[in-house]
Amino acid sequence: MLNAKIPAGPLNTKWENYKGHCKLVNPANKRNLEIIVIGTGLAGASAAASLGELGYKVKAFCFQDSPRRAHSIAAQGGINAAKNYQNDGDSVYRLFYDTVKGGDYRAREANVHRLAEVSGNIIDQCVAQGVPFAREYGGLLSNRSFGGTQVQRTFYAAGQTGQQLLLGAYSALERQVALGNVTMYSRHEMLDIVKIDGKARGIIARDLISGKLERHFGHAVLICSGGYGNVFYLSTNAMGSNVTAAWKATQNGAFFANPCFTQIHPTCIPVSGDHQSKLTLMSESLRNDGRIWVPKKKDDNRKASDIPEDERDYYLERRYPAFGNLVPRDVASRAAKERCDAGYGVGTSKQAVYLDFAAAIERYGTIEASKRQMHGVSKEEIIKLGKEVVAEKYGNLFDMYAKITGENPYETPMRIYPAVHYTMGGLWVDYELQTTVPGLYSLGEANFSDHGANRLGASALMQGLADGYFVIPYTIGNYLADEIRTKAIPTDHPAFAEAESKVRDRIAKLMSIKGTKSVDYFHKKLGKIMWDKCGMARNEQGLKEAIEEIKALRADFYKDVRIPGDANEFNPELEKAGRVADFLELGELMCIDALNRRESCGGHFREESQTEEGEAKRDDENFSYVAAWEYKGPSDYVLHKEELVFEEVKPTQRSYK
């Protein structure tokens, strides 16, 4: 049984107690302690900046050309915090409760409570950095609602909240670079962990421009490399998002937890053809104002505007009156799939539903007219005013939709369909964010910790920044306090040489295949298997098939992949090949995990386990645990369990009716 090292005492005092009793490192010693940070998204950048401020010697790595490009930049809707600025009944406890319930009771209570506790500090910190959150006329911060909650606790910057938060963390990071506390390695990819006496002591990285392999020592290594949604090929992730850093950690003994917990986001722009390289999210914040519907009639080919009000089925409002369009993502996605599978889908592919803003435009227009003391105005005038308000709230999203689809969403409803967006699973970490390898930590989406089987909207930004700004600066000291006698280990140590030659061999092996098919060919095939058999709905037979198909595909990849160019130069195809090779192992593990979890929970829907109304049916008696997988070799995994104990929140059948 895994020990999560959760501090004793009542839930709401655990973190206070921990902070009061954890070991500290004095400033003179911090200067001699080196920390490696992999990834510069919200988790990595905030951690690197905060640890640099404390005086540690930090090295940060990212594969992009600048740390500012990490995929956190693309987060749209907002960030949650229990500030209760709206006086609508929010509190730390409510945020904690909503998150545990939203995660379908598969998250660790102590971690989630800590997350809720520090959520307010994040907003304070970001505002102090100059993050331009949306404000009201009185000059104070504005909030909106997100799925799975009944309060307004989401802070935002139009549809670019992730961008603004990341640029805040990036600026803090660059300030530490200027001060010499952080050394930044852009266009570098971590390709292995170096372990000495069982502890993480460094990495092997490839300079992506020169192709040279480099050895870097660290007293501790932090994996902040994001999620693995790109295993599906088509997802809302950036093209470069990958699992490689986390997977190398797994191959070096870090357990991988709940790999099958994938978030399929309900509101994305539908696939338009075989050429599609990625999918684009339309922020959940749109569900504040957009109403989701399909025609009441099957195979209705009329234009949306020609379908009268009483022939429309607002199915979320119908099925879930308490939360309506703001049900959590897993629920909304399954409901969309259900309607489309039943033949009510819209658009040419029939794999889409409408997200309609007509009602919101009229409502906002009326409010605006009233605010401006305009009486007896025409409907056209009201709609014009309403469109202006909607543009201010969601303008960039509407523009993006128009560019991608060629349609004007102010005039016709958006067509949307679920797409892979986020992965709740990741490296198993204890309360201190340490993996099962001493000195190896994981933060943000790369770890598994806080979202259970389904993440609520606007909680990813919160978790990434909580881990980086407010958790790791404390918990890493508790480890490094015992490392102050460890001098920097020279990188000619045999463990570094061995790790480097392993990486060199792996690259040589890939380059030597000289097959006939591109990396993308294999990636697309893998994605299709995953989406069909380990996507929105899963069953035993499909998962068993998928495991065999992935094994065969992996064998074919190592026989027939073609990587042009040279290993000693800038070679994007080689980078992709390494990442897809890791996805080909991870994909199999995801199916193994999904097969093992014979219950439905959150985003993991096993068709064999559903209520009469088609909702996910948990099996708390047998599956109230975190599944942490130990890597023994390709296709060879050992399951370890962390029992989930609920002291505060009593697991019940989740209901949003």
Q: How far is the CB of 361 from other proteins (least distance, A)?
A: 21
Cα distances (Å, whole numbers) of residue 363 to 134, 296, 366, 371, 384:
21, 24, 5, 12, 11
Measured from the CB atom, is 184 or 589 closer to other proteins? 184
First-residue to last-residue Cα distance in the chain: 37
C-alpha radius of gyration, the chain, whole number: 24
DSSP string across 300-339 = --S-GGGS-GGGEE-HHHHH-TTTGGGS-HHHHHHHHHHH
Measured from the CB atom, is 403 or 650 closer to other proteins? 403
Q: How far is the CB of 394 from other proteins (least distance, A)?
A: 14
Q: Measure the CA–CA gap between 214 and 593, rounded to whole angstroms.
A: 35
Measured from the CB atom, is 405 or 491 closer to other proteins? 405
**Residue 215: alpha-carbon gap to chain centroid:** 29
Element (H, E) at 365: helix 358-371
Q: How far is the CB of 178 from other proteins (least distance, A)?
A: 4
Q: How far is the CB of 462 from other proteins (least distance, A)?
A: 14
Q: How far is the CB of 301 from other proteins (least distance, A)?
A: 17
Q: Among residues 329, 579, 618, 654, which one is catalytic?
A: 329
Measured from the CB atom, is 362 or 520 closer to other proteins? 520
Give the phi and the psi of residue 417 in degrees, each rounded to 5.
Answer: -155, 155
Measured from the CB atom, is 177 or 488 closer to other proteins? 177
Q: Measure the CA–CA gap between 588 and 634, rounded to whole angstroms.
A: 9
Q: How far is the CB of 230 from other proteins (least distance, A)?
A: 11
Coil, helix or strand for 163? helix
Measured from the CB atom, is 276 or 541 closer to other proteins? 276
Measured from the CB atom, is 516 or 622 closer to other proteins? 516
Q: Measure the CA–CA gap between 62 and 45, rounded to whole angstroms.
A: 10
Token couple for 408: 């004007």
Q: How far is the CB of 381 from other proteins (least distance, A)?
A: 24
**Residue 62: alpha-carbon gap to chain centroid:** 17
Q: How many CA atoms lie within 13 A of 602 on its CB side?
A: 34
* Strand partners of residue 222: 37, 441
329 is catalytic: yes
Q: How many CA atoms lie within 13 A of 9 on its CB side?
A: 9
What counts of helices (H) and strands (E) characterise the chain? 18, 19
Residues annotated as part of the active site: 329
